[in-house]
Amino acid sequence: MSENFIDYVKFHSRSGNGGAGCLHFHREKFKPQGGPDGGDGGRGGHIILKGNAQLWTLLHLKYRKHVVAENGHGGEGQNRTGAYGKDEVLEVPLGTVARNAETGDVICEINQDGEEVILAKGGRGGKGNAFFVTSTNQAPEHAQPGEPGIEQWVVLELKLLADVGLVGFPNAGKSTLLSVVSAAKPKIADYAFTTLTPNLGVVAYRDNQSFVMADIPGIIEGAAEGKGLGLRFLRHIERNSLLLFLVPADAGHVGKEYEILLNELRKYNPELLDKKRLLAISKSDMLDEELKRGLKSELPPDVPTVFISAAAQTGITELKDLIWKHLH
């Protein structure tokens, strides 16, 4: 999922112009003075975003710098309406947010499979001269041009939809935990910033049930100001319903490290603190019972805590039970 995990694309989009209305009068051999019969122009093509649950990344849109829908066709005589311009449909993963690149305003958000939202409407077709006939003007000599389409720079951002987000400093053991509890195969090494992209893992639970866990790249102090890999990854945490804080047993002070992580989230978006939180002390195979008892005095009193070791596979079942209980 690594190099191909693209969670941000920017492109120029233009919906189709509406077709022009037709200025035309009915002419037949025996009807030299037939009335106006110019048809309306067809509307321009829309640019549409469509949710696709099979997609996990925006990679397929990475090289599309211009997305252009077809123009509507002009109206014709005999009251024939011009054909509509063909819509341009972009399939995106669930959790995609579209913004206007210049203003930053959110245009729409796609969260359902098959959901379709018009990103930019095609221009309306112009009215033909037949439309303008009145009792006092039986032979109007004008028709409308079509409306222009909408041109804009658009940014698509992907926010992962996972049940549990793993929060911790680099090297806290998040990737190792994910590889143990799920079939995900994140890159693992004992240096900071191994995880440069979020990894998703489906964690099997009892009775064929499961939940989705996301290993979000380690945040460091100052991430909210954009240090390290900062903001790009904090946005993935916004969607998780439960945050699992991971602090290694060999941290200088477990409670302090937890507070620093919490503070980063608070600076980035205070609403993140409304989410349920759990704390797992990783690498706890290096602790004996006496050390665990000593550590408990450092732990935040209001957060359910579990001691785990992904390497020794201890505490994993208790952790899954705790997560499941809080998710449901």
Which residues, other chains included, contact 259 with Cβ-Cβ below 8 Å and sequence gap of 6+?
A: 300
Q: Nearest-CA neighbor of 202 among 194, 191, 190, 214?
A: 214
**Residues paired with 13 in a beta bridge:** 67, 152
The domain segmentation of the chain, as residue ranges, is: 1-158, 164-327
**Residues paired with 243 in a beta bridge:** 165, 277
Confidence of residue 18 (pLDDT cuts 50, 70, 90): very high
Which residues, other chains included, contact 313 with Cβ-Cβ below 8 Å and sequence gap of 6+?
A: 180
Cβ atoms of 167 and 35 closer than 8 Å: no
Of 36-40, 64-68, 197-201, the range with the lowest mean pLDDT is 197-201
Q: What is the model's pTM? A: 0.61
- Given the candidates 3.40.50.300, 3.30.365.10, 3.90.700.10, 3.40.50.620, the CATH classification of the domain at 164-327 is 3.40.50.300
Question: What is the model's pLDDT at position 41?
Answer: 95
Question: What is the model's pLDDT at position 237?
Answer: 62
CATH of domain 1-158: 2.70.210.12
Confidence of residue 229 (pLDDT cuts 50, 70, 90): very low
- Mean pLDDT across the chain: 81
Q: How far is CA 104 from CA 98, 107, 131, 272, 320, in A?
A: 9, 9, 40, 21, 39
Q: pLDDT tens digits for 156-204?
A: 988 766 678 888 877 777 777 877 776 555 444 444 433 445 566 667 7
pLDDT above 80 (res 292): no
